[in-house]
Chains A and B, each alone.
Chain A
Amino acid sequence: MSSPTNDHKNEVPKRSLSNLDLETPDKTYLDSNELIINMGPQHPATHGVLRVILKLDGERVLGTECVIGYLHRGVEKIAENRTYTMFNPYVDRMDYCAAVSNGLGYCEAVEKLLNVEAPPRAQYIRVILTELNRIASHQLWLGTHALDIGAMTPLFYTFRDREEVLKIFERYCGARLTTHAFRIGGCQYETYSGFEKDVTTFLTFFAPKIDEYEALLTTNRIWLERTKNVGVISAADCIALGVTGPLLRASGVKWDLRKAQPYAAYSKFDFEIPTGENGDTYDRYIVRMMEMRQAMRIIEQAVNGIPEGPIMGKVPKVIKPPVGEIYHSIEAPKGELGYFIVSDGSTQPYRLRVRPPSFVNLQALDLMVRGLLVADVIAVIGTLDIVLGEVDR
């Protein structure tokens, strides 16, 4: 007589993953050429709780399968149950390395929906903080990316210098990471006395530090060998997959939302869009390094030209946008960060959808690592610059 539990066991459907043939029984893996390895969610180099299933032939990667969702918090669903103002701090928790950018994107999207505009002074403050955050985000990327490739020391250098950015954030709004720096319609806080001085001090402090990072890596033989022609992705593939940000620019496409559809006060500043040629890991490294320099340029112009005036626009106490929908995107450090908001005229969004750059860029992983070695998978995950808080939301 068969027990009900056994019957139940048979009914459990076999899990099959799309592009990897995982049916090979475990016992035979020693006899076959193929090896299936679980990289993550607990792994030192997957930048959080990313799980990558690797199919290997020796050390060569035959295919990958990303499993995400370990950090899913339902941010988009939460938005439907919070007022527009209440939801603002939640966006900081998506890409926690670039919380200011997240906040900027959200605030601007709601402002667009409300049809209000932040006053010029608020715009300038926004630009300064967002670009500072870009530097901080790129520093974190550089440190962890170099650590993944085996260079330990840049990590500590970048974290030492990132501290200075975080100190400015802390003095401005009291928080270092999840800043909640902006409000719908402008900024909550006026700049503290000495803000401009702090920012200029940081710029003079930081300029030689980039050279220091570059001295360690840019012409390092091992670094060149590990990054040149690794994880190459063509411009066409980038566009087909929706890959944006430094990845797209490193493939040679001059596409930066700050120039293409200027938001905040970006149209007032003079800066360049660095691009690469080969679309390999080294180009992405160079592009990001140059972006840090360009960010410094923007900050310098913004600090020097910051206008006087109010910092809060005319926003009603209770934010009730008219019925309608809006898509607004900004150039976050990792790529195009978009917010799609559907309003039903109430105080809460009817639906809010985030277009996170990390999530879209992560799609390119499989394309980039096929045929490379295990060590390159780590390098490519590093160069994608993903934050799992943003991928899973």
Chain B
Amino acid sequence: MPNFVMSYLGSTVTPGEAGNQFWALMYVLIIFAGVSTAVICMNWLERKALAHFQVRLGPMRVGPHGLLQPIADALKLMLKEDIIPAQADQFVFWVAPLIGLLAAFTVYTVIPFGPSQAVSDMNIGILFMLGVSSLGVLGIVVAGWASNSHYPLIGALRSSAQMVSYEVAMGLAVVSAILMTSLNASGTGTLSMIGIVQAQQQQGIWFIFKFFPLGFIALVIFAIAMVAEVNRAPFDMAEAESELTAGFHTEYSGLRWSLFMLAEYAAMIAVSSIAVTLWLGGWMRPFPNLLHAPAWDFIFSLFPGLTFAGLAAIAFIGTARMPSDSFFKIQRIGLGVFAALLGFIALLLLVIAVAGRSADASVAARFNQGIGYVYWFVLKVAVFMYLFIWYRATWPRYRFDQLMRVGWKVLLPISLGVLILTAAVGVIVR
């Protein structure tokens, strides 16, 4: 049994490819739990960051600095009465949030957190990902239709039109990145997510800087289209709080509503992951080719531990700065324990980094590498997630016709131009 469990750690391919069913299942569970946790963290982070953009504090009551707020919200939503409107199509109403959730979570099977840190390495990974993630719109359309109510119906119609139009520009941007993968000696490109990152590794450049500014423009187009794709401000037509009350989920409440939220945030992370994989070098740490001495490897492997140490320090400072009133005693203890927990994780990561510094195939070294891959990947995704919050705090909402105009008349021609130019430059360079 230990051999069976350990077998994967020595392998250099994904568990799906190695036929290791046990580890594939483990990965599915880890990703499910990880994404759910990330959504919870994101929920707290968005409320806090948005609050600080808007000169207020955000949640402060449930736990120290509102750290337990998402858990309290989740509990509340689960305990709420389950309402299905009398006029709604019961079955479709019931199934709609599940479609959205399923689509959002299925794409994670091909997201590479590292060269072997994925459930499976599909050779059509990027196509699979775009295809499945756009199925999410079905959940929204069906939800709007099944509610049998005006506002959800308008929200659903807006959403479907919006997603269809932005997917075109998005797809063309993706194609220009895929073209770049074929610029190797054998001239073979790849659609595999892992292959795309490896191509960037071999060519020694992130695709964002490739044929500058072509790669950069493609990323910008993708980054705009992906905001529209997941219905976030300033393209949140489908929800459009001030126009359509809540858009497609007006009639939803409680657990079903929370499933929509879960799907939305999961989709946000998923599209950010595509952007990171295609243009920002996926799991690669900065300058893997320039600074490739073992000493540099060691320095970069300290980053995860140091990040957690920094978080622990912030939490400790927060604990120290809390009012000394006895009313805050429990909160102080809570934040202190949280800080200690972060510190412990930091210590653990640093120990692994030191233990696994040799480049041999020992378990510690493999572990160390894996942590590095996941860390850099998550960090890059986190940047995009922060951008989502930033957009929401800064910009007004587009009107529907303007949204379509931007999609068809601005993004589409630019992405077509970028695609053609990329192909031309690629041919000339080869």
Give the residues from 236 to 250 in chain B that come closer than 8 angstroms, CB to CB, to chain A: 236, 240-245
Q: Which residues in B have their C-beta under 8 angstroms from that of A43?
A: 245
Q: Are B234 and A222 in contact (CB-based, < 8 A)?
A: yes
User: Within 8 Å of chain B (Cβ to Cβ): is A31?
Assistant: no
Of A7-15, A143-151, A234-242, the segment with at least 4 beta carbons within 8 Å of chain B is A143-151
Q: Which residues in B have their C-beta under 8 angstroms from that of A51?
A: none
Q: Are B241 and A226 in contact (CB-based, < 8 A)?
A: no
Q: Are A225 and B242 in contact (CB-based, < 8 A)?
A: no
The CA-CA distance from A247 to B110 in the complex, in Å, is 56
User: Within 8 Å of chain A (Cβ to Cβ): is B430?
Assistant: no
The CA-CA distance from A261 to B230 in the complex, in Å, is 55
User: Within 8 Å of chain B (Cβ to Cβ): is A190?
Assistant: no
Of A78-86, A164-172, A287-295, A373-381, the segment with at least 4 beta carbons within 8 Å of chain B is A373-381
User: Within 8 Å of chain A (Cβ to Cβ): is B393?
Assistant: yes
Q: Are A150 and B56 in contact (CB-based, < 8 A)?
A: no
Q: Are A375 and B240 in contact (CB-based, < 8 A)?
A: yes
Kindly identify which residue among B151, B244, B399 contacts A376, using a CB–CB cutoff of 8 Å: B399
Q: Are B56 and A156 in contact (CB-based, < 8 A)?
A: yes
Q: Are A222 and B240 in contact (CB-based, < 8 A)?
A: no
Q: Which residues in A have their C-beta under 8 angstroms from that of B56?
A: 156
The CA-CA distance from A148 to B397 in the complex, in Å, is 9
The CA-CA distance from A44 to B399 in the complex, in Å, is 17
Q: Which residues in A have their C-beta under 8 angstroms from that of B398?
A: 150, 222, 225-226
Q: Are B242 and A150 in contact (CB-based, < 8 A)?
A: yes
Q: Are B150 and A225 in contact (CB-based, < 8 A)?
A: no
Q: Are B241 and A375 in contact (CB-based, < 8 A)?
A: no
Give the residues from 390 to 408 in chain B that come closer than 8 angstroms, CB to CB, to chain A: 392-402
User: Within 8 Å of chain B (Cβ to Cβ): is A220?
Assistant: yes
Question: Closest CB of chain A to B140's CB: distance in Å?
Answer: 17
Question: Closest CB of chain A to B158's CB: distance in Å?
Answer: 8
Known: A44-B245, A375-B243. A153 touches B394 (CB 8 A): yes
Q: Mark A128-157, 1 if CB is under 8 A from B, else 0.
A: 000000000000000000111111110111
Give the residues from 216 to 238 in chain A that come closer than 8 angstroms, CB to CB, to chain B: 216-217, 220, 222-223, 225-226
Kindly identify which residue among A37, A45, A376 contacts B150, using a CB–CB cutoff of 8 Å: A37
Question: Closest CB of chain B to A4's CB: distance in Å?
Answer: 29
| Residue from B242, B245, B401 whose CB has the most chain A CB atoms within 10 Å | B242
User: Within 8 Å of chain A (Cβ to Cβ): is B55?
Assistant: yes
Kindly identify which residue among A146, A153, A217 contacts B393, using a CB–CB cutoff of 8 Å: A153
The CA-CA distance from A35 to B152 in the complex, in Å, is 13
Q: Are B397 and A375 in contact (CB-based, < 8 A)?
A: yes
Question: Closest CB of chain A to B165's CB: distance in Å?
Answer: 15
User: Within 8 Å of chain A (Cβ to Cβ): is B233?
Assistant: yes
- Chain A: interface size category: 20 to 34
The CA-CA distance from A373 to B240 in the complex, in Å, is 13
Q: Are B400 and A152 in contact (CB-based, < 8 A)?
A: no
Q: Are B55 and A222 in contact (CB-based, < 8 A)?
A: no
The CA-CA distance from A151 to B242 in the complex, in Å, is 10
Kindly identify which residue among A35, A45, A150 contacts B233, using a CB–CB cutoff of 8 Å: A150
User: Within 8 Å of chain A (Cβ to Cβ): is B154?
Assistant: yes
User: Within 8 Å of chain A (Cβ to Cβ): is B209?
Assistant: no
Kindly identify which residue among A59, A147, A149 contacts B154, using a CB–CB cutoff of 8 Å: A59
Kindly identify which residue among B154, B233, B236, B241 contacts A374, using a CB–CB cutoff of 8 Å: B154
Question: Considering only CB atoms, which chain A residue lies closest to B393 in the complex?
Answer: A153
Q: Are B396 and A150 in contact (CB-based, < 8 A)?
A: yes
Q: Are B243 and A378 in contact (CB-based, < 8 A)?
A: yes
Question: Considering only CB atoms, which chain B residue lies closest to A29 in the complex?
Answer: B150
Q: Are B234 and A150 in contact (CB-based, < 8 A)?
A: yes
The CA-CA distance from A223 to B399 in the complex, in Å, is 10
User: Within 8 Å of chain B (Cβ to Cβ): is A160?
Assistant: yes
Q: Are A225 and B55 in contact (CB-based, < 8 A)?
A: no
Q: Which residues in A have their C-beta under 8 angstroms from that of B393?
A: 152-153
Question: Considering only CB atoms, which chain A residue lies closest to B153 in the complex?
Answer: A35
Kindly identify which residue among A35, A155, A373 contacts B399, using a CB–CB cutoff of 8 Å: A373
Q: Which residues in A have their C-beta under 8 angstroms from that of B233?
A: 150
The CA-CA distance from A225 to B395 in the complex, in Å, is 12
Known: A43-B245, A373-B401. A149 touches B396 (CB 8 A): yes
Question: Closest CB of chain A to B243's CB: distance in Å?
Answer: 5
The CA-CA distance from A160 to B53 in the complex, in Å, is 13
Q: Which residues in A have their C-beta under 8 angstroms from that of B244?
A: 374
Question: Closest CB of chain B to A248's CB: distance in Å?
Answer: 25
Q: Which residues in B have their C-beta under 8 angstroms from that of A373?
A: 399-401
User: Within 8 Å of chain A (Cβ to Cβ): is B289?
Assistant: no
Question: Closest CB of chain B to A386's CB: distance in Å?
Answer: 15
Question: Considering only CB atoms, which chain B residue lies closest to A227 in the complex?
Answer: B396
Q: Are B243 and A225 in contact (CB-based, < 8 A)?
A: no
The CA-CA distance from A152 to B401 in the complex, in Å, is 21
Q: Mark A50-67, 1 if CB is under 8 A from B, else 0.
A: 000000000100000000
Q: Mark B52-65, 1 if CB is under 8 A from A, else 0.
A: 01111000000000
Known: A59-B154, A222-B398. A44 touches B241 (CB 8 A): yes
Give the residues from 168 to 227 in chain B that come closer than 8 angstroms, CB to CB, to chain A: none
The CA-CA distance from A148 to B241 in the complex, in Å, is 8
Known: A150-B397, A153-B393, A153-B394. A374 touches B243 (CB 8 A): yes
Q: Which residues in A have their C-beta under 8 angstroms from that of B400?
A: 59, 373-375
Q: Mark A17-59, 1 if CB is under 8 A from B, else 0.
A: 0000000000000000001011000011100000000000001
Q: Are A222 and B242 in contact (CB-based, < 8 A)?
A: no
Question: Closest CB of chain A to B203's CB: distance in Å?
Answer: 36
Q: Mark B234-266, 1 if CB is under 8 A from A, else 0.
A: 101000111111000000000000000000000
Q: Mark A377-390, 1 if CB is under 8 A from B, else 0.
A: 01000000000000
Question: Considering only CB atoms, which chain A residue lies closest to B241 in the complex?
Answer: A44
Q: Which residues in B have their C-beta under 8 angstroms from that of A156?
A: 54-56
The CA-CA distance from A375 to B56 in the complex, in Å, is 28
Question: Considering only CB atoms, which chain A residue lies closest to B149 in the complex?
Answer: A37
Question: Closest CB of chain B to A209's CB: distance in Å?
Answer: 11
Q: Which residues in B have their C-beta under 8 angstroms from that of A220?
A: 395-396
Q: Which residues in B have their C-beta under 8 angstroms from that of A376?
A: 399
Question: Considering only CB atoms, which chain B residue lies closest to A161 in the complex?
Answer: B55
Q: Are B245 and A375 in contact (CB-based, < 8 A)?
A: no
Question: Closest CB of chain B to A108's CB: distance in Å?
Answer: 37
Question: Considering only CB atoms, which chain B residue lies closest to A148 in the complex?
Answer: B242
Q: Mark A242-280, 1 if CB is under 8 A from B, else 0.
A: 000000000000000000000000000000000000000
Q: Are B396 and A222 in contact (CB-based, < 8 A)?
A: yes
Q: Which residues in B have their C-beta under 8 angstroms from that of A226?
A: 396-399, 402
Q: Which residues in A have their C-beta under 8 angstroms from that of B158?
A: 59
The CA-CA distance from A374 to B86 in the complex, in Å, is 27
Identify 14 new A-B residue pairs, CB closer than 8 A, beyond the known A37-B151, A150-B240.
Answer: A151-B394, A152-B50, A152-B54, A153-B393, A156-B54, A157-B55, A216-B394, A217-B396, A222-B398, A225-B398, A373-B399, A374-B154, A374-B243, A374-B244
- Which 10 pairs show the lowest CB-CB distances between chains A and B? A150-B397, A156-B54, A151-B396, A45-B242, A150-B396, A149-B396, A375-B399, A148-B242, A222-B396, A37-B150
For this complex, 30 residue pairs linking A to B, each with C-beta atoms less than 8 Å apart, are A37-B150, A44-B241, A44-B242, A59-B154, A150-B233, A150-B236, A150-B240, A151-B395, A151-B396, A152-B50, A152-B54, A152-B392, A156-B56, A157-B54, A157-B55, A216-B394, A222-B398, A222-B402, A225-B402, A226-B396, A226-B397, A226-B398, A226-B402, A373-B399, A373-B400, A374-B154, A374-B400, A375-B240, A375-B243, A378-B242
Chain B positions near chain A (C-beta within 8 angstroms): 50, 53-56, 150-151, 154, 158, 233-234, 236, 240-245, 392-402
